[in-house]
Every structure is written in structure tokens, then in C-alpha cells.
Amino acid sequence: MEQRILTVEKNERLTADVFRLVLRGDVAAVTTPGQFVNLKIEGLFLRRPISVCDKGDGVITLVFKVVGEGTSRMAEIAPGAEIDVLCGLGNGYSSDRSGDRPLLIGGGVGVPPLFWLCRTLVGEGKRPSVIMGFNTADEIFMEDDFRSLGVPVTVTTADGSRGLRGFATDAMAGMDYTYFYTCGPLPMLRAVDRTAKGDGEFSFEERMGCGFGACMGCTHKTKKGYVRICREGPVLRREDVIW
Amino acid sequence: MVKTAVDLCGISLDNPVIPASGTFGFGYEFAELYDINCLGTISIKGTTVEERFGNPTPRIAETPSGMLNAVGLQNPGVDRVISEELPRLAKVFSKPVMANVSGFSVSDFAAACERLDGVEQIGWIEVNISCPNVHGGGMAFGTTPGGASEVTGAVRRVTKKPLIVKLSPNVTDVAEIARAAEAAGADGVSLINTLLGMRIDLRERKPLLANRTGGLSGPAVRPVAVRMVCEVYDAVKIPVVGMGGIVSAEDVIEFMLAGASAVEVGAANLTDPFTCRDIVRDLPRAMEKYGIDDLADIIGGAH
């Protein structure tokens, strides 16, 4: 973990309540897809943990949904602003376990952290497939980003307004894959666990105090004992998860 | 050259800055970020006789200028603290450590303290009779003079180490609890633990924390804490360790003027992991600004 002051390069709206925040600076501590950063937001006491959507040369992209006061304020941060960011938190996904044809399943604002993972897997010569689940067509974001990686993308909407009608897990039936990676709301993660074949990894969300392992605010019980979602997580292997 | 060293129950601290229990783990996580030997000491994560998972999540909520927590004393149990956590801390921290002990019965407190009594690395034992987040223990002992006296007396019988009894602010008269602890053999008192609070999720129409209530900490509680430190300083002769919303060297001076011999820094560690290091670094400059040559001289200076 490193504490860095990053400069906002871009903060753009992707849907009614989803934003893409691009931060420039020393982000060397961010090493692995699935990791998160913890942002100090003016006027709020606790930092806000957000998954890294993508990383480039001296730049990280965060895609977040406005759900409360912290993310509301984040949506208003203007380009040029400086943000105090704890970089490189959490374990991230293990791309080395993927096999040749991994499946990535994202739901809503759980989709973004899968992007860097997908790009990494493609770069390693693997052939990932992606399922993106949303409630309705208006809420879809990042579909083109994933398609630009040249991977098969299946979009589902709960109301059938775009793509396959149903949940992300409904698209898993009949798919053949060597491993899976998923991120999304807890009911979706549970559904993935009921549906998926073989090994895989789940990224969990939890309210955090510190984000770096000090406060024990985000502990989950697993088959390997108690883990801090911020430190030993947020990504847990399927074999370790207790549902 | 200003003098920052203070005495705490017969042990000298290079400076009065102590990370508060529950906000600094067992210290070694922070040693990855900076040399933690710059700290006065460390109050390690609250320890109970048996391992505890703590409360269900969510355990944390934002509040105006602070936070609520209801972690519920998650810890690996005193035996593993002694066999695993303390040796790991010893590799990165060479000073005497402040253990922090809680329990659900008087005999729990005594059993944990008895085991820690034999550990050379432990300089002080902070007896937490004020945790608001566990049921049937913790704060239940700290809200009456009789309860405080009973626990303090029981742990006094099993250890010669300096005992610092951590007091709850969730009482009508904190001074009488402090006097009861002193009379039962405490070598010092520390305060304040967190203030019992609650937040409600408007969409769900239920409390944000799974435990319903939690302990409020952060700058929001600081004036309450300063007032209570001031009252307790007047009530007892033993040293007072002050805490509650400290984020800066100026805050340290304020607590010492109120009567604190040393201070603990809690919630601020979670929002900025470098807070304690920065406070230690800034102390000499703040002392010069306020004309202080020797920090020990200002203890209780506002009385």
C-alpha cells in the first residue's frame, strides 16, 4: 500500500448514476486486477473504497455508481482536482488459474473490476468470455470497452429491454469454461455459486473502516478462518467461501 | 530542543502518542508503512480469553466528523496473541507494549491478565471495561462504580504490571467510576472509549449497523472527551490517558492541558494510516508555537 496524491484527469458520466473517474500519478502500488483504492473525499471522515477498473502508464480508471453521500461527492469532482488515495489495496484476482477459456460474470457496478482482468487475460493469450448483467437497457455501461478487447460479450437485462432477458447467471447455462471470475451484488454471487461449474473466484463488497487491515471492520468467515475483505480479500476462491 | 518524554505509571515514553486499541491491529501492518518505533507505545487490539469473531457486518458507518463501529472485540484469543501476534510485533517494535484486555465475566478479565502478566514485552495492561459493542460484558462493568471496582480488584490480584482501566463515557458521572478504579488498585485510567450511537438507513428503514448500535469516535467526540479527562484529572491522583478524536499535535496539547499524561489516537489511524507518525513529527513545532519546553510540565495546565 502507498499513499499518493493523484490528479483527476477525467470524470465522466456513463449512465444516469455511473461515472468513470480517471486518476493520474504514481500508481505503481496498484499491481493486480481486482485490487481497490481508498479515496479521501473532502468533507467526509472515512475514505471510500473503489475497485480499480483499469490501469495504464501512470493512470488508473475507477468506475463507480452513485449510491450514497461519498459517491455523490465523487461524481462532482472536477478535472484538475487532487485526491489523496491509498493505492494497491486487497489481493486481486489470480489470472494464472484461469485455464484457456475463463468466464467473467459481472453484475451492475460489479462489471468494472473485470475489465482490467479481461484485458490481462487476453494479453496472456487466453480466450475469456464475458457476461454482463444489468437491470435495464439504460443502465448498461462498458459494453463497447469489453467488445473492443475482441472477446465474446453476452449482455443480460432483468426486464429484457436489451440482450438476453434475465439475470447474468441465466446466460451461464450451456457455456463451457475452464474457470470463472465474478463480481457483483451478493444475491448474484450466490446465484453464480449455485450455477457455476468448477473452480472460480468471487470478489466481495463490504463496508470498510480503514481498507488496509487495521480495524477488523470487514471480516467474513471462510473455510480458511476469518478473513478481512480489505486485506485477504476482496477476492476469495470458491473453495474457501462459506455462503 | 523541546522535551516530549512523559512518564506513564513508572515507564518513560519518548512521547505521549499511543495508537488506540482496535485502530492499529497488532501494529505490524503499520510497520510496513513507517518505523513504528517513533511511537510512545502501542495499545494492541483488544484481547479476550477465547477467540472471538465479533459482530456480523456491516460493522462500520460514517457519521458527521467521525464514525460508528461495532466490531465486537474480534481477536484470536489471549494465547494466540501471546504466541503469534506479540512475537510478530516484537520484530518491528522494540518498546514496551500496552496490552488491552476485555471479558464477559470478572474471571475472564483475570484469566487474560494473568496470562499476560508473564509476558516481558507487555509494559502496561489496559483493562477495557467500556466496550459498548458486546453484550453481557465490556461496558456492563464500566458503568457502575461497583462493577469497575470488582474487575479492577480482580485483575490487580493477578498482575504486578501497571494497570490502566479504560473508562466509558456512557455514564452520568465518569469521575466516580474513575475513583472506584483507583481505590481498587488501578495505576492509571484511560478515557474515553466510544460513545454509544446509532445511524438508520432511510431506504431500508433499519439501523445501518448489523449490531444496531455502535461506538462513536473521531473528531465529533473530542470536546466531550476533553471535558471528561478534565473531570477525571480532578477526581484521581493516578495518571490519566486521554483520547477521543485526536488528529493533530495541537489536539495532544489540548488533552494534556486538560490533564492527560499521555494520549491515544484512534479513529484517525483508519482514515490516514500515517497520522500517529505525523503527530509525533509535528509535536516539537506545536510545542514551540505554544511556548512549551517540556510536555510533562503542561499536564493539567488548564486547571
Across residues B102-120, what is the average pLDDT? 96
Set of chain A residues whose Cβ sits within 8 Å of the Cβ of B274: 3
Peptide bond into B64 cis (omega under 30): no
Looking at this predicted complex, what is its ipTM?
A: 0.93
Residue A107, class by beta-carbon neighbours within 10 Å (0-12 exposed, 13-18 middle, 19+ buried)? buried
Contact state of A207 with B61 under an 8 Å Cβ cutoff: yes
Task: Please tell me if residue B162 touches chain A, with a CB cutoff of 8 Å.
Answer: no
Q: Looking at the predicted structure, is the pLDDT value of residue B135 above 90?
A: no
The residue in chain B having the minimum alpha-carbon distance to the alpha carbon of residue A86 is B272
Phi/psi for A58 (5° steps) reads 70, 25
Set of chain B residues whose Cβ sits within 8 Å of the Cβ of A40: 271-272
CB neighbours of A228 closer than 8 A, spacing ≥ 6?
Answer: A213, A216, A218, A219
According to the model, what pLDDT value does residue B131 have? Answer: 83
Q: Which of A1, A207, A226, A230 to mutate to test the interface with B (most CBs of B within 10 A)?
A: A207
H or E stretch covering A221:
strand A219-222
Across residues B62-77, what is the average pLDDT? 96
Residue B133's identity, in one-letter code, is N
Set of chain A residues whose Cβ sits within 8 Å of the Cβ of B20: none
Question: Which of A44, A70, A209 has its CB closest to that of B69?
Answer: A209
Set of chain A residues whose Cβ sits within 8 Å of the Cβ of B61: 207
Joined grid coordinates for residue A10: 477525467
B210 alpha-carbon distance from chain centroid: 24
The residue in chain B having the minimum alpha-carbon distance to the alpha carbon of residue A84 is B272
Q: In B86-115, which positions are buried (b, 16+ CB within 10 angstroms) versus exposed (e)?
A: beebeeebebbbbbbbbbbebebbbbbbbb
Joined grid coordinates for residue B29: 501492518
- Do B184 and B156 meet the contact criterion of CB atoms below 8 Å apart? yes
Task: Please tell me if residue B32 touches chain A, with a CB cutoff of 8 Å.
Answer: yes
Nearest residue to B40 via CA among B280, B297, B275, B208: B280
Provide the pLDDT confidence category of residue A78 given band limits of 50, 70 and 90: very high
pLDDT 10s digits, B206-216: 999 999 999 99
Alpha helix stretches (DSSP H) within chain B: 28-31, 78-80, 86-90, 106-117, 139-142, 145-156, 174-183, 222-235, 249-258, 268-271, 275-289
Chain B nearest-CA distance from A73, in A, is 14
| Chain A contacts to B (CB-CB under 8 A) | 1, 3, 40, 44-47, 69-70, 84, 86, 206-210, 212-221, 226
Peptide bond into B58 cis (omega under 30): yes
Nearest residue to B44 via CA among B59, B58, B63, B31: B31
- Domain residues of chain A, as ranges? 2-89, 95-203
Q: Strand, helix or coil at B210?
A: coil
pLDDT 10s digits, A104-134: 999 999 999 999 999 999 999 999 999 999 9
Q: A38 has which bridge partners?
A: A49, A86
The one catalytic residue in B9, B38, B113, B131 is B131
Q: Which of B30, B60, B200, B202 to mutate to test the interface with A (most CBs of A within 10 A)?
A: B60
Question: Which fold, B6-48+77-198+218-298?
Answer: TIM Barrel (3.20.20)
DSSP state of B212: S
CATH fit for domain A95-203, picks 3.40.50.2300, 3.40.50.300, 3.40.50.80, 3.40.50.1700: 3.40.50.80
Provide the pLDDT confidence category of residue B194 given band limits of 50, 70 and 90: very high
- Do B260 and B242 meet the contact criterion of CB atoms below 8 Å apart? yes
Provide the pLDDT confidence category of residue B1 given band limits of 50, 70 and 90: confident
Q: Which residue has the higher pLDDT, B139 or A208?
A: A208
Question: Which of B24, B25, B57 has its CB closest to that of A207?
Answer: B57
CB neighbours of A35 closer than 8 A, spacing ≥ 6?
Answer: A51, A52, A88, A89, A90, A91, A92
Provide the pLDDT confidence category of residue B136 given band limits of 50, 70 and 90: low
pLDDT 10s digits, A135-170: 999 999 999 999 999 999 999 999 999 999 999 999
- Do B211 and B56 meet the contact criterion of CB atoms below 8 Å apart? yes
Q: Which of B24, B36, B48, B57 to mutate to test the interface with A (most CBs of A within 10 A)?
A: B57
The residue in chain A having the minimum alpha-carbon distance to the alpha carbon of residue B71 is A217
Across residues B170-199, what is the average pLDDT? 98
Q: Looking at the predicted structure, is the pLDDT value of residue B138 above 70?
A: no
> Alpha-carbon Rg of chain B, whole angstroms?
18
Chain B nearest-CA distance from A220, in A, is 8
Across residues B81-87, what is the average pLDDT? 98
Joined grid coordinates for residue A239: 473453495
Across residues B249-264, what is the average pLDDT? 98
Contact state of A214 with B33 under an 8 Å Cβ cutoff: no
Name residue, grid cell 519518548.
B14
For β-strands A82-89 and A164-165, DSSP reports them as: unpaired
CB < 8 Å from A in window 99-158 of B: none
Q: Looking at the predicted structure, is the pLDDT value of residue B139 above 80?
A: no
Q: Please give the Cα distance from A86 to A49 (Å, whole number).
A: 9
Residue B251's identity, in one-letter code, is D
Provide the pLDDT confidence category of residue B253 given band limits of 50, 70 and 90: very high
* Helix and strand counts by DSSP (H, E) for chain B: 11, 15
User: How many residue contacts between A and B have a Cβ separation below 8 Å?
Assistant: 90
Proportion of chain B above pLDDT 70, given as a percent:
99
CATH fit for domain A2-89, picks 1.10.10.10, 3.10.20.30, 3.30.70.20, 2.40.30.10: 2.40.30.10
Nearest-10 crossing angle of helices B106-117, B145-156 = 30
- Return mean pLDDT, chain B: 96
Phi/psi for B86 (5° steps) reads -65, -40
Known catalytic residue at B113: no
Residue B194, class by beta-carbon neighbours within 10 Å (0-12 exposed, 13-18 middle, 19+ buried)? buried
Q: Looking at the predicted structure, is the pLDDT value of residue B134 above 80?
A: no
Task: Please tell me if residue B62 touches chain A, with a CB cutoff of 8 Å.
Answer: yes
Set of chain A residues whose Cβ sits within 8 Å of the Cβ of B269: 210, 214
